[in-house]
């Protein structure tokens, strides 16, 4: 008879527990509400996070982004400010 090492037993029991938890969360209304709440909280945290433009390991600061990304838009923006009647 072959003995089962405790590490394998822990691994299999962890997989079974994870599967049961996933079924419980997806299969019940309370579980679905909990998953929806977690999703909403994480998306809110992502959208409201403060991102720093400084990279501490290099001491380098990211340059500011330009208002217009294409040449046509830059030309149009420039012309709108310079071609005003005198």
> What does 52-76 look like in DSSP terms, one character per residue?
PSEETTTTEEPPPPPS--SHHHHHH
Residue-level length of the chain? 86
Alpha-carbon dihedral sign for residues 8, 14, 15, 16: positive
Question: Smallest Cα–Cα separation from 82: which of 65, 66, 74, 72?
Answer: 74
pLDDT score recorded for residue 4: 85
State if pTM tops 0.75: no
* Residue ranges per structural domain of the chain: 1-47
Cα angle for residues 70, 71, 73 (degrees, 5° grid): 70
Q: What is the mean pLDDT of each run of 10 residues along the chain (86 residues)?
A: 90 96 91 92 83 59 56 51 54
pLDDT score recorded for residue 12: 95
């Amino acid at each position: 008879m072959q003995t089962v090492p405790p590490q394998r037993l822990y691994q299999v029991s962890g997989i079974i527990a994870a599967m049961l938890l996933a079924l419980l969360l997806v299969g019940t209304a309370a579980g679905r509400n909990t998953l929806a709440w977690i999703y909403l909280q994480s998306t809110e945290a992502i959208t409201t996070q403060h991102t720093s433009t400084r990279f501490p390991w290099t001491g380098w600061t990211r340059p500011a982004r330009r208002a217009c990304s294409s040449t046509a838009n830059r030309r149009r923006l420039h012309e709108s400010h310079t071609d005003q009647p005198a």
